Amino acid sequence: MKIGITCYPTYGGSGVVATELGKELATRGHQVHFISYAFPHRLTHFYENIYYHEVEMSNYPLFEHSLYSLALTSKMLEVIEYEKLDVLHVHYAIPHATSAYLAKQIIKKNNSDIKIITTLHGTDITLVGLEPSFLPLVKFSIEESDGVTAVSRFLKEKTLTNYDIKKDIKVITNFVDTEIFKPGKNEQLRNYAAPEGEKILVHTSNFRVVKRVSDTIRILEEVRKEIPAKLILVGDGPDRSECERLARELNLSKHVLFLGKQDALTEILNASDVFLMPSQSESFGLSALEAMSCGLPVISTSVGGLPELQKHNETGFIAEIGDVTRMAKYTVDLLTNDKKYNIFSENSRKRVLSNFDKNVIVPEYVEYYDEILK
What is the average pLDDT value for the chain, to the nearest integer? 92
* pLDDT 10s digits, 184-200: 988 899 999 999 999 99
What value does the mean pLDDT take over residues 66-76? 89
Q: How far apart, in Å, are the Cα atoms of 86 and each of 27, 41, 191, 331? A: 18, 25, 51, 48
Virtual torsion, Cα 25, 27, 33, 36, nearest 10 deg: 80
Task: Pinpoint the alpha helices (H) of 88-239.
Answer: 98-107, 123-126, 135-144, 153-163, 187-193, 213-223
Given a cut of 90, whether residue 62 has pLDDT beyond it is no
Q: Read off the pLDDT band of 100 (50, 70, 90).
A: very high
Give the sign of the dihedral formed by CA 183, CA 189, CA 193, CA 197: positive
* pLDDT 10s digits, 324-365: 999 999 999 999 999 999 999 999 999 999 999 999 999 999
pLDDT attached to residue 11: 63
Q: Say whether domain 187-355 belongs to CATH 3.20.20.10.
A: no
- Residue 183 CB neighbour total at 10 angstroms: 16
DSSP letter for 56, please.
P
- Residue 188 CB neighbour total at 10 angstroms: 10
pTM of the predicted model as reported, rounded to 2 decimal places:
0.91
* pLDDT 10s digits, 146-195: 999 999 999 999 899 888 888 899 999 999 999 999 999 888 999 999 99
Domain boundaries, the chain: 2-175+357-373, 187-355
Which CATH superfamily is 2-175+357-373 part of? Glycogen Phosphorylase B; (3.40.50.2000)
The type of residue at 32 is V
Topology match between the domains 2-175+357-373 and 187-355: yes
Please tell me the distance from the alpha carbon of residue 164 to that of residue 363, in angstroms, as a whole number: 30
Please tell me the distance from the alpha carbon of residue 229 to that of residue 253, in angstroms, as a whole number: 13
Chain centroid to CA 369? 21
Given a cut of 60, whether residue 124 has pLDDT beyond it is yes
pLDDT attached to residue 127: 63
